[in-house]
Amino acid sequence: MFIGAPPTCCQQETKAETMPASTHWLLDASTVAQRHAIMSVYLLICPRANVKGTAFLLSNGIMVSNWHVVSGCSAEELIASSSSGREVKFAKMITDADRDLALLRPVTTLQGGLVLGNDGDPPLEKRVSTWGFPLMYNGPAPLLSIGYVAGYSEERAGNRTVKHLVINGAFNPGNSGGPLLEEPENKLIGIVVAKYHLYPPYVKETIETLAYKPRGGFNSGRFSIPQPDGTQKTLMDDQVIGLMLEEFYKTTQVMIGEAISIGELKEFLASKENELR
């Protein structure tokens, strides 16, 4: 049972006979504002690229994520899953690689969603949070991560500069595309996009060479990994080593991450309003 009445946004997706027990437990332990955020956040999967991330619903019915989460799939291939276990498919996708943003229009109308916050810069030390699906965690309900505004950074993309918020918090792979919320009101102020790494660029280049560009120097055929379509892909030994190193690279925890400023999302939404209809 809920502690108090469930928020209006969630009435269509909180049927006792379908909602997983773990989601019930999470909602029972949450405030009203947190419940609203929980039910607005979705696990987003791109099966063809075998990539997962986070997405969130806006009050206008559009879902938001990162471009790098969806770039391997078409809109029709993407699959989102709600905290209640409901599967969502999409009719249209608009992306902006420079901003690393993706707008998704669901096939069916979804109720609820988050409201865009103010463009004003949150002050340093302001407490923020995000809900998402970090690392190997796949839900059904998202996990909470807490942090603080540590500063600002700029990302050069083509001829434009994209504004990022730098967050002191545990944002990991899988959190990408999640909402950055200003505490305690849970106002949307950004979109989680990146985490910092301890390693220099050549480490990542070496991993990618081993994992994705095998030269046949080692034995092959002893290992395989499952593919999204259920088949098995045979790997050479150097690919296996590369994939193992990549997991270490991705999961090493550094308590600094970044989020795209809400102003960037507002500008993108405004420019694509007609296309999203």
Q: Quick one: pLDDT at residue 169?
A: 86
Q: Which of 106, 125, 151 is the last residue of a domain?
A: 106
Q: Are 72 and 44 in contact (CB under 8 A)?
A: no
Which is more confidently placed, 277 or 91? 91
pLDDT-derived band at 232, boundaries 50, 70, 90: confident
Write the CATH number for 81.
Answer: 2.40.10.10
Domain extent at residue 221: 201-251
Question: H helices of 62-111, where?
Answer: 67-70
Q: Which of 106, 100, 61 is nearest to 81 (CA)?
A: 106
By C-alpha distance, which of 196, 199, 81 is closest to 147? Answer: 196
pTM for this model (two decimals): 0.75
The answer to whether 210 touches 255, Cβ cutoff 8 Å, is no
pLDDT of 7 = 34
How do beta strands 179-182 and 187-195 pair? antiparallel
C-alpha angle 216-218-220 in degrees, rounded to nearest 5 = 80
C-alpha 139/C-alpha 43 separation (Å) is 7
Confirm whether 175 is domain-assigned. no
CA dihedral for 268, 271, 104, 6, sign (positive or negative): positive
Instruction: Supply the mean pLDDT for the chain.
Output: 83
Q: Which residue has the higher pLDDT, 222 or 40?
A: 40
Identify whether 121 is part of a domain.
Answer: no
Q: What span, in angstroms and rounded, lies between the C-alpha atoms of 119 and 138?
A: 32
**151 occurs within a structural domain:** no
CB 171 within 8 A of CB 145: yes
Span 73-121, pLDDT tens digits: 999 999 999 999 999 999 999 999 999 999 999 999 999 999 999 888 8
SS3 91: strand
Q: How many residues does the chain have?
A: 277
Q: What is the domain count for the chain?
A: 2
75 lies in a domain? yes
Question: In whole angstroms, what is the distance from residue 82 CA to residue 8 CA?
Answer: 16
User: Looking at the predicted structure, is the pLDDT value of residue 243 above 80?
Assistant: no
Looking at residue 248, its pLDDT comes to 67
